[in-house]
Amino acid sequence: MGNGIIASPAVKLNVHSFFVDGVLIDTGAKSLEKYFIPYFDELKIDKVVLTHFHEDHTGCAALLQKERKLPIFMNEKKIDTCKRKADYPFYRQLFWGRRKPFHAKPIGNEFSSQTASWRVIETPGHAVDHIAFLNLNTGQLFTGDLYCQVKTRVVLREESVPDIIQSLQNVLTYDFEEVFCCHAGYLSDGRKALQMKLEYLMELEGTIVKLYEEGKKPDEIDKHLFPKKYPITFFFRRRMGISEYCSIRN
């Protein structure tokens, strides 16, 4: 497991890359490339699989493809996007760097590693192409950004919380306990963590609907339920010094 961290005085972000049975799951961010390279160099990677196209998960994909000639697999919905020059907001480039183009292949519904078979589970919401990987031999579930934390603090404009709810309901129909999250890391009781997140979002959804039916306007509901504003939602208006560091654990 590799964990790359980016920190500033007001914002701290991290992203994990996982290696199991010859398979590298997600590649970290371009801005952390020099830190992830020593981690990659210790691994005998057969293939790379990506949970979704976001730059903190695909940032080193081009490097691995160019330098090590590794095959890369992902949901076909964003393959064409990743072939082109990266185009996402400046504040995300500031943190995660600018992903270079790479060529991936459609992952399909399943794949194999050295000793195991894997199920690919569609989990849209955080991204339209988001997928999770279930190791059918070990019961370990790799969830990308489906979990992150129980109580979601901020979301991207393009995220769909109703879709995230459906995706959580979907993965919970499978048999697993351990979860590997690309931001929270290893969760020994992953099923319980995902169940808690689902319950939180469903309760939140019910509260929002109730307040709306009582006549509250969207901005009033927002102020009532989410009074705290996080620095990442407005930091691009300020000038910040960004420091980078990476902790790699094997």
pLDDT given for residue 138 in this prediction: 95
How high is the pLDDT of residue 156? 77
Which carries the bigger pLDDT value, residue 41 or residue 234?
41
pLDDT value of residue 244: 39
| Residues 97, 16: Cα–Cα separation, whole Å | 16
3-state SS class at 246: strand
For residue 232, pLDDT over 70 is answered with no
pLDDT band of 86, cuts 50, 70, 90: confident
84: Cα within 13 Å, side-chain hemisphere: 6
Q: Are 127 and 145 in contact (CB under 8 A)?
A: yes
Question: Residue 238 pLDDT > 50, yes or no?
Answer: no
* For the chain, counts of helices (H) and of strands (E): 8, 13
Q: Which amino acid is at 246?
A: C
SS3 letters for 115-133? CCEEEEEECCCCCCCCEEE
pLDDT tens track for 98-154: 999 999 999 999 999 999 999 999 999 999 999 999 999 999 999 999 999 998 777
pLDDT tens for 213-230 read: 999 998 898 888 888 776
Percent of the chain clearing pLDDT 70 (strictly above) = 90
Torsion angle of C-alpha atoms 79, 80, 81, 86, degrees rounded to 10: 110
Q: Tell me the DSSP string of 154-165.
A: ---TT--HHHHH
Give the pair of three-digit tokens for residue 30.
Answer: 């371009």
Average pLDDT of span 66-89: 94
% of residues, the chain, pLDDT over 90: 70
Distance CA 194, CA 182 (A): 14
pLDDT at 245 over 60: no
Range in 148-152, 167-171, 174-178 the model is least confident about: 148-152
Contact in structure between 208 and 225 (CB atoms under 8 Å)? yes
Structural domains in the chain plus CATH codes: 2-248 (3.60.15.10)
What value does the mean pLDDT take over residues 193-197? 97
Stated as kind and residue range, the H or E segment containing 14 is strand 12-20
- Least reliable range by pLDDT among 49-58, 177-186, 214-223: 214-223
Q: What is the structure's pLDDT at 90?
A: 75
The DSSP 8-state label assigned to residue 99 in this structure reads: P
Does the pLDDT at position 200 exceed 70? yes
141 phi and psi angles, rounded to 5 deg? -115, 125
In this structure, which long-range contacts are made by residues 230-238, counting pairs with CB atoms below 8 Å and at least 24 apart in sequence? 230/153, 230/154, 231/10, 231/11, 232/11, 232/13, 232/154, 233/154, 235/8, 235/10, 235/11, 235/91, 236/89, 236/90, 236/91, 236/94
